[in-house]
Amino acid sequence: VARNQYERMGSDVTMQCGTLENDASVSWKVNGTDVKAQHRLEGPRLLLNEVDLGHNGLYSCFQNPHGERRDTIYLHIGIKPDPPERVTATPIRFNARRLEVSWHSPSTWPDIDNFPLKYFLRYRPLIREQWQHVELSDSTSHTITDAYAGKEYIIQVAAKDTEIGTWSDWSVAVHATPWIEDPLPITSTTEGDFSTETKTSPIPSSNAPQKAEPPVGRAARLLTFFSPLLLGMLLLFMW
């Protein structure tokens, strides 16, 4: 079973062939072929100079003279990675203190499956100068749960190759504000919403009671027309 060895880009690397003594004679192969990179041997140790991504691979050592394999090492070289890409921050509906942050690994990173990255998230409200930090393993998202309600935030992410790499530069800053409750719409008042008002009659011009005029109908008009005639007939009868 291969064991992992992590080294920094540009450094000089020494790999030890198991627990062999200093005077042991060994040979080395990488990915099944002889090591062709610039190197030197010191007993059971292989020394590689100024390693880069081309030195990544599976190294095996064999003890001479019979060629018995004594150790297998998977060498991981860390490239300061480029910053994470496509960082987004989204408010969470009905939660005034949360922001959902997500991002993508840098597209220039050669093999994210075999060489996973860890991430460093920083965020702060614009009204403050002090950053808050969160370190993550290989996750590409994080939910901020302690944001100030209604305050605009600035957010950035950096990446690093496991424990031995160098942190990338910060990503492009994104801005986001936690969810703010929508104000209730103003509704118009309908006619039925008003209470019935008691209406009063106009105040008369005089304090004296007002005598109502009798209605003038058809019978009254006929009486007015025939009254002189009846009076005449009555006087004639009396004579």
The residues facing 15 across adjacent strands are 46
Q: What is the pLDDT of residue 45?
A: 96
pLDDT at position 1 is 79
Q: Which whole-number Å values give the CA distances from 67 to 27, 33, 59, 96, in the listed order? A: 8, 14, 15, 67
Q: Are 10 and 50 in contact (CB under 8 A)?
A: yes
- Alpha-carbon 160 to chain mean position: 22
pTM of the model: 0.53
Average pLDDT, the chain: 82
Residue 132, pLDDT score: 96
Q: In Å, how far from its chain's centre is CA 11? A: 39
Per-residue model confidence (pLDDT) at position 205 = 43
pLDDT at 149: 93
The pLDDT tens digits for 39-87 are 999 999 999 999 988 898 999 999 998 899 999 999 988 778 889 999 9
Residue 112: exposed, middle, or buried by beta-carbon count in 10 A (0-12, 13-18, 19+)? middle
What pLDDT does 228 receive?
Answer: 60
| Whether 99 contacts 89, CB under 8 Å | yes
Express each pLDDT in 183-193 by its tens digit: 667 765 555 44
Q: What is the pLDDT of residue 233?
A: 64
Ranges of the chain with pLDDT below 70: 163-164, 183-184, 187-239
